[in-house]
Amino acid sequence: MKLHYSKLLLFSLPLNILAHSKNKRYIVLHKRTTTSRVLSERDTYTSIYDNDPEMEYVKENFNRQMSQRFEEYNERVNDKRKKSKEQCDKDIQQIILKDRIEKSLEEKVEKFCLRCGCGLGGVAASVGIFGGIAISELKKAATAAAIEEAIAAGTKVTIETAITELKELTYIYGLIGDNLKAILGTITNFRTQTPMVYAVYGASQKACESVTIGNGGGNQLYCSILQEKQREVFTKLGQAGAKAITAGNTQKTSVQTAALEKIDTTFLNCSTAITASVIAILIIVLVMVIIYLILRYRRKKKMKKKQQYTNLLKE
């Protein structure tokens, strides 16, 4: 689009008329109604307001209000700082108290676990050592008592069997039948029949001597048989003694075997109980040691973290 300068000049005339027309009511010209009191850049160094009472009043009022507000602000800040410091001190005291309580409790638990572990370890060792020794000694004593009981039972059966066998020998039983149990009771060794044979034969000889001296006729026949059939008498006494000793040994063996089996079973149960007790105590000791190590590790970890926080606060 091309416009000539002559046409531009023609446009300027109506615009000028419109701008300066007073007949157009909708065109309102701006009129200043207030007086501005703003200092301009050129008036900053002038003294035209130095003696102005209104300006002095404004200044004083402003300074008074600002100073009052600053004082109130400082009071609020100081009050907040004081409250914050008191709360911080209170929190620090609570943290310190809580930390002391936790530390004391952890130390007590650690010491308890350590002492309990050491004590139970000593108990386990004592139970294992002294329990084994006690069981061994008790087993020896029980075995000895069982053997003595078996010997007594065998001796009793030997004497009873010997009396039963000697009843068949009328010439012996007729002479010493009433005293036969007492005579056999004086024998201390029943391993062989020899002591029994000599004891019975010697008692029969003494009975015959008393019969001879007293001239008793009731037992003279028995004494004459002893004198005439001495070898046969010894043979029969030996056979009777052998049967008695065999019966006694059988009884002794059976009683001793039963008693020893009972002793072995009892002391095996005792050994098992002691072993189980030692194992249980060792497990408890192991648990106590593990708890002690865990608590110690946690306490060291807390102390390390606390030291890091302290270092950060110092920095």
Q: Kindly report, residue by residue over 168-217, the tens digit of the pLDDT.
A: 877 777 777 778 888 888 887 778 888 888 888 888 888 787 765 555 55
Are the C-beta atoms of residues 274 and 127 closer than 8 Å to each other? yes
The model's pLDDT over 145-176, given as tens digits with 9 standing for 90+, comes to 888 888 888 888 888 888 888 888 777 777 77
pLDDT(77) > 70: yes
Are the C-beta atoms of residues 184 and 159 closer than 8 Å to each other? yes
In this prediction, residues 51-78 reach a mean pLDDT of 85
Q: Which of 139, 180, 157 is nearest to 243 (CA)?
A: 157
Residue found under tokens 């089996």:
261
| 3-state secondary structure at position 248 | helix
The total number of residues shown for the chain amounts to 315
Q: Kindly report the average pLDDT of the chain as a whole number.
A: 77
CA 23 to mean position of chain CA atoms: 113
In this prediction, residues 222-238 reach a mean pLDDT of 79
pLDDT at 211: 65
Residue 235 half-sphere exposure, CB side, CA atoms within 13 Å? Answer: 4
Q: Pick the residue with more confidence: 1 or 106?
A: 106
Q: 0.95 exceeded by the pTM?
A: no
**Integer Cα distance of 203 and 245 in angstroms:** 20
Q: What is the phi/psi pair of residue 35, to 5°?
A: -100, 120
